[in-house]
Structure 1
């Protein structure tokens, strides 16, 4: 009887452990939840990045991503990305642009909003997520999540690859890496710092590191970072963050 009871307990414990194993989608969903969750879906977010002003608005599945700046002549330039496409205006007059320029401007606007609002964008339909395993950085354990994008809905940079290190305890995205193909390509590794919560949404800044060897696998960058072998390329600082969440 005691043997049966012991076997039952062991079986139960093993079953419980197996149930706690999360897949990539569940891990990313938890990361989004701890960073703001459903608040993103009805939020107005404004911020300053590199002397340009940005604003995003989301409501009922619709989105509008904006960037405001002045050119060298003092003209007010407004870029807007919506579900319907992209427009650029100069002094409130819409401009006619070649497709290549419109695509480049749209991508640059979308990219800034994407990184500032991570991990929200990882929940999109065009996002493919794969759990590579677990690793540790500076004594903390992380899930390693590889992210790629479908060509349909993944934007013009859909061939870029990303790797996210999500803390196994807090589910925060503390590190990320990516490879890109434009401008002869490159590899970056980012370490988050200055975490803060603004009206329920979590924001961070990043120390941005470069890796010159473009053959380096993204999953090796955490080791190079800990060894001090990555070059600090820049800092990604988001300022003047304001958030309004509608009911």
Structure 2
């Protein structure tokens, strides 16, 4: 009798374990489908063969992609010097007045992350399908009466290259599959929270771009999933308006 009882308990345990695995697989598939649709709505395959130039905070940025090959640039000036920093499949390079310069590793790491971060935000939702990210689908949310998926992601620096960001939350419209809101926590020099609300959506040569109103909440212990309600109740502090002037979008045939 005791042996039969032990067998039943063991079978029950295996059944529960199999059910958890099925739920995990189903959730992972749903997440990937949501991300795939969101990227498709915003530009899809166009991202992989596009050259995009834009102005942001007095600097000019340029991205070029051709399949798996890519380069991300930042063009700036210091005094009379013209500086071009570039991250590509080959690593990081800095040119000053078109001459290649060797820079210390400590500065290289900071510049590399800075360039990737600016391009990351400018090209969202491209990049959300990175296989190296931890993804979790939270409960449905409503903002201004509209239904949203809440997609939580944990970023390791090796996976994202985005400086100082530990946790992200994205609000994706359940019907339109547009990325309308995002939030993140950062722990670089100090802890903090940011919540961004997209505005001024426009499509240029098949790729969707938005600007953001950038908010904060002083209590850094606040969960990111609480920020949508705080936003609707005007409890967030507006820090800045992030506007990106698109200069060029060229998509190869």
Q: Common fold, TM-score beyond 0.5?
A: yes
**How many angstroms apart in 1 are the aligned matches of 2:199 and 2:123?**
14
**How many angstroms apart in 1 are the aligned matches of 2:247 and 2:209?**
9
What's the CA shift string for 1:62-99, capped at 9, x where partnerless? Answer: 1000010111x120010100022111121112222221
1:56 and 2:63 equivalent?
Answer: yes
Do the aligned residues in 1 keep the contact of 2:184 with 2:194 (CA within 8 Å)?
A: yes
Q: Which runs of 5+ in 1 are unaligned?
A: 1-18
1:183 and 2:213 equivalent?
Answer: no
TM-score (norm. length: structure 1)? 0.88
What's the CA shift string for 1:13-67, capped at 9, x where partnerless? Answer: xxxxxx9x97211111110000000110000001111111111000020100001
1:106 and 2:112 equivalent?
Answer: yes
Do the aligned residues in 2 keep the contact of 1:148 with 1:158 (CA within 8 Å)?
A: no
SS at match of 1:153: helix
**How many angstroms apart in 2 are the aligned matches of 1:131 and 1:212?**
26
Decide which of 152, 155, 167 is 1:161's aligned counterpart: 167
1:211 and 2:206 equivalent?
Answer: no
**How many angstroms apart in 1 are the aligned matches of 2:29 and 2:236?**
31
**How many angstroms apart in 1 are the aligned matches of 2:142 and 2:161?**
32
Q: Which deviates further from its counterpart, 171-180 or 144-153?
A: 144-153
Do the aligned residues in 1 keep the contact of 2:53 with 2:60 (CA within 8 Å)?
A: yes
* Offset at residue 143 of structure 1 (A): 0.1
| 2:126 alignment counterpart | 120
| 1:231 alignment counterpart | 237
**How many angstroms apart in 2 are the aligned matches of 1:241 and 1:23?**
36
SS at match of 2:128: helix
SS at match of 2:189: coil
- Relative to structure 1, the CA distance from residue 142 to residue 42 in structure 2 (aligned partners, 3 Å threshold; closer, same or farther) is same
Decide which of 66, 76, 88 is 1:69's aligned counterpart: 76
- How many residues get paired? 227
**How many angstroms apart in 1 are the aligned matches of 2:134 and 2:251?**
28
* Offset at residue 211 of structure 1 (A): 1.1
**How many angstroms apart in 1 are the aligned matches of 2:93 and 2:31?**
35
| 1:29 alignment counterpart | 36
SS at match of 1:222: helix
TM-score (norm. length: structure 2)? 0.86
- Relative to structure 1, the CA distance from residue 206 to residue 215 in structure 2 (aligned partners, 3 Å threshold; closer, same or farther) is same
Do the aligned residues in 2 keep the contact of 1:198 with 1:241 (CA within 8 Å)?
A: no
Q: Which runs of 5+ in 2 are unaligned?
A: 1-25
